[in-house]
A = this chain, B = another copy of it.
């Protein structure tokens, strides 16, 4: 049994094309021996966003804190707030944007461990 917190988990800036002011942590990861899937947490600072992209694996997400939008395949903005659960299917184009002027948008983003 592992019990941990974000405060105990290494945090690094995401340096990929299209990512702005995004930070990543992996509290439950392949390093812990997870058999199938991992829990990552992304923090997007005000004005920031993830890339608008698709990939061959899914996201199961939970909004821990903050306000934002998810952009869907059609380019539509869908409101996100604390307590939302979000499913992005494999190959579905998507983006997460922080729409707050002041606070971070933080969410769990679980993926198959090969893609953590």
**Assembled-state Cα–Cα distance A2/B88 (Å):** 7
Which residues of chain B have C-beta atoms less than 8 A from A2's C-beta?
85-87
A60 proximity list for chain B (CB < 8 A):
28, 34, 37-39, 110
Contact A62 B86 (CB under 8 A): no
Q: Is the interface of A mostly helix, strand, loop or mixed?
A: strand
Interface range, A side: 35 or more
Nearest-CB distance from A81 to chain B (Å)? 9
Inside 8 A of A108's CB, which chain B residues have their CB?
62, 108
Q: Is A80 in the interface zone, CB < 8 Å from B? A: yes
Contact A87 B28 (CB under 8 A): yes
Residue A70 at the chain B interface, CB threshold 8 Å: yes
